[in-house]
Structure 1
Amino acid sequence: MTVSLALVVVMAALIACGVYLLLERSLTRVVLGFLLVGNGVNLLILIMAGPAGFAPIYDESLAPEEYSDPLPQALILTAIVITFAVSAFLLALIYRSWRLANADDVSDDADDVALREGAVTMPLEETAPDEGDTDFPVDEAAGEPVAPAPVADGEPQPADVETGGAR
């Protein structure tokens, strides 16, 4: 079995450039890197498939060694579909990020930077719930929501009244 050196070089270049782009902060470059790595892996599967052969259709005059293995071709087709789906998802994330922040760069989170530098983070302060934050009435003396009284069996519950008894 001979492997084409040109395919190996192209595959290595695609994967190297793809990994370089995946490490960037720009989400657009991350998608391009993902696509390059996906194509490089497809070439790797093609290279590992072995020499070209005849189509795997039964022919009595050919020896089994002369057939081409159909499994790598099926794996490449599956990888193409998965790469397309993940790329579409990443493009939707980039579009959403652009609409929210008008930028496609990923920035450092302040808490992550503080944690990396060894700083102690302050816990969030506990606050009393506002009247509009809960469906339960608020006990003004304690400042906490009051739980509803338990309902005896057989009495209609609010969910039963609204849905006609179906849950």
Structure 2
Amino acid sequence: MTKLALGPGFPEPSEGLPYRPCVGIMLINRDGMVWIGSRDDGGSSSNYEFSWQMPQGGIDKGESPEQAARRELYEETSVRSVTLLEEAPEWFAYDYPEEVVRKSRRGKHRGQAQRWLAYRFEGENEEINILEPPEGHKAEFGAWRWEHADRLASLIVPFKRPVYERVVDAFSHLTA
């Protein structure tokens, strides 16, 4: 398998499973509010108590984090009207709980290492279409809303909270 060119600072565990290289996107509107979506587990609903999250996804071979972020944002929300504001200064990683590794991740990765990027949403809310994603992509969210940045960590699954706290801290000056 060819390794991705992830740049300096990508966390490489000394033992055990590797991290899956991913991006996360903080989409900020003109009022400083952040886009969040409720995960869709089929039927436009979620089986998780903490189902809200920002867009995120894997980095494909040959992609830079910025290219992956724009692609993932478009695939998950239909949004293209954005301006890059900033990239977080480092990779933020989290480990999956053991039951997640066993059930849904097929034991390939210990968790995700994410490169986070903040974008200004330049379009209108009508551009956002999560129920019928472009180019035949499967809907990943069943609902969405604009939220205050300081509430984000309380809405995400607990094992991702430390990363969300770091993301909010890194980009808080953009949401004020």
Q: TM-score, normalised by structure 1?
A: 0.19
Q: Rg bigger for which structure?
A: 1
Normalized per residue, the structure richer in helix is 1
